[in-house]
Structure 1
Amino acid sequence: MFANKWMITGIVLFILVMIPFSYLWILVSRYDDTEPDRVPRQAAIVLGAALWDQQPSPALQERLNQALSLYKDGLVQYIVLSGGLGDNGITEAEGMKKYLMDRGVPAGHLILEDRSSNTKENLKFTAEVLQKHKWTKLYLVTHDYHMYRALNYARQAGIQASAAPVHSQVLFMPYHKTRECLALIKQKVFHQ
């Protein structure tokens, strides 16, 4: 009898956790099949990820390649690179700039936001850069699982951007989507 109560309690708790988590999973999967709308805009904002030995990680290279494609296709004139100082001695923005310059993007078309340390700051500080340039027509470049939360932070910062999600070939999606669901919980609970 006592064991049955524990089993029922466990099942109820499992269901109570899985229903909201399933909803969050749907939100982080929302941009899985989305492609950029291919409308010309002034700039693309690329959110930083990680540098490995002062070079963009494979995941960050995916984001940069998406922005490079938008640039080469004439859909943007400028690329805003957002990411602050990591453990590598240079900022993510500097590492991203070097990567894109090595692929033919002139330095004058790369704008750095190099103070941020998380997604919310990426967009808060990028909003200041955008105001200086008076840019309002933008793409936001990040991985598809990260796009929902990134667009929420963009709206909070007063940025209206169109999604240009990256569909990763190098990341293990179950891990990253689970981590993103937890980040959404943190965002909602702590109103970040």
Structure 2
Amino acid sequence: MIDMVAFVVAAVFLLLFGIGVLRDRRRFSNAVYLGLSVTFLGVGLLASLKDAPRGVAGVVLIVLLLVVALGPVTLATLLCSNGVKMLRKEGRRPANLLALLAGLGIYGVMALMVVAVFTQSAVLGAAVLTLLLVLGYVSFLFLCFIGYAALYGRLSIRRDADYVVVLGSGLIGDRVPPLLASRLERGRQVYEKLAERRGAEDTEEARTPLLVVSGGQGSDEAVPESHAMADYLVERGFPADRIIREDRSRTTEENLLFTKALMDVERPDAECVIVTNNFHAFRAALLAREVGVNGQVVGSPTAAYFWPSATIREFAAVFLTYKKVNLGICGGLILLGGLAVLAAL
């Protein structure tokens, strides 16, 4: 009975997910619906193990126990190792500490759990349970985020976009670093595909795609980022007359707002393809929807070691975007834990 109910609930959330994607793939609710669908599917499969052959059920349970026992230790170790690598390669900026801090945090929670078990402290046990509830909620959202972000990055781009928008990521002096170069090369590829399609369908010059490079000048940069981005492309044979420079923005949100203003001048309500790095694509899509940019986002390749810290940073930004709901739920869980601690006194 439990398995059938779980499968039905999973199907309902999968239906909501499909409707959400068809309406607008740039919604975080799509990620939550997908995560809930997978979760209830898993519950249904576990519940159905009672009808499985004894050997199959035993193997599945052993695998699950190993994942529960060894998974957190393995994850914490990998995060700490990656964090040290990030510090060596990228420097000691706060953003580069995220993977290391996450790994140490997991070790800390496991240590608290061990202390609670050995001391048999009801208060500490209730506090640890509260912490696990909050972490469980945040971890669920994180898994929803990375799962749907991976899926979003594989969705096809629009065939009829009028603009390709490449978001800046920072210069080294006046030089385009590898991270930004990967965005520009991906932007060039997208532009060429769109131009090829337009050439086969419509030869009017007004319908030829334009490429927008977006980024202002930071305090440690010798030139506006968009200028260096345009120079990079032109030096490699890209037609200069197809480039538009947006040189005022300092953040991703400003990238999108100021670029929208430029696009609306020439082609109001035009569709675009936004290019950033793959770890940043889903959050950029959420921002594009929020500010009213009619465009989907594609990602360029990123070095593997950069992924963990960058993904944690992106998730934290999305989590705080919906802070009223998320902090409200976390606050409710903490309140329940506090009541449990008081009851244990």
Superposition TM-score tier, normalisation by shorter sequence: 0.7 to 0.9
Give yes or no for the alignment of 1:119 onto 2:252. Answer: yes
Greater share of strand: 1
Give the corresponding residue for 1:85: 217
| Matching residue's letter, 1:125 | F
| Matching residue's letter, 2:145 | L
Structure 2 CA distance, aligned partners of 1:43 and 1:130? 8
What is the CA RMSD across the aligned residues, in angstroms?
A: 2.4
Deviations 1:36-92 (CA, angstroms, capped at 9, x unpaired)? 436242111111101113122211111111101112332672111111111112111
Greater share of helix: 2
Deviation at 1:24, TM superposition (A): 3.2
Structure 2 CA distance, aligned partners of 1:114 and 1:164? 22
Give yes or no for the alignment of 1:66 onto 2:197. Answer: no
Highest relative contact order (Cα 8 Å, sep 6+), 1 or 2? 1
Give yes or no for the alignment of 1:15 onto 2:133. Answer: yes
| Matching residue's letter, 1:150 | A
Deviation at 1:157, TM superposition (A): 2.1
Which one has a bigger Cα radius of gyration? 2
Q: Secondary structure at 1:30's aligned position in 2?
A: helix
Match for residue 133 of structure 1 among 254, 261, 266: 266
| Matching residue's letter, 1:17 | L
| Matching residue's letter, 1:37 | I
Name which of structure 1's ranges 98-107 and 161-170 shifts more when overlaid on structure 2. 161-170
Give the corresponding residue for 1:27: 145
Structure 2 CA distance, aligned partners of 1:51 and 1:89? 8
The structure 1 segments of at least 4 consecutive aligned residues displaced by more than 4 Å after TM superposition are none
Give the corresponding residue for 2:240: 107
Gaps of 5+ in 2: 1-118, 197-207, 325-345
Match for residue 228 of structure 2 among 67, 83, 95: 95
Deviations 1:151-176 (CA, angstroms, capped at 9, x unpaired)? 12212222111222223236511110
Structure 2 CA distance, aligned partners of 1:166 and 1:138? 16
Q: Number of aligned pairs?
A: 191
| Matching residue's letter, 1:121 | E
Does the 8 Å CA contact 2:166/2:212 hold for their aligned counterparts? yes
Structure-1-length-normalised TM-score = 0.86
Structure 1 CA distance, aligned partners of 2:275 and 2:303? 16
Q: Secondary structure at 1:172's aligned position in 2?
A: helix
Deviation at 1:8, TM superposition (A): 3.9
Give yes or no for the alignment of 1:54 onto 2:174. Answer: yes
Gaps of 5+ in 1: none
- Closer, same or farther: CA 18–117 of 1 in aligned 2, 3 Å: farther
Structure 2 CA distance, aligned partners of 1:30 and 1:181? 12
Deviation at 1:2, TM superposition (A): 6.9
- Closer, same or farther: CA 38–151 of 1 in aligned 2, 3 Å: closer
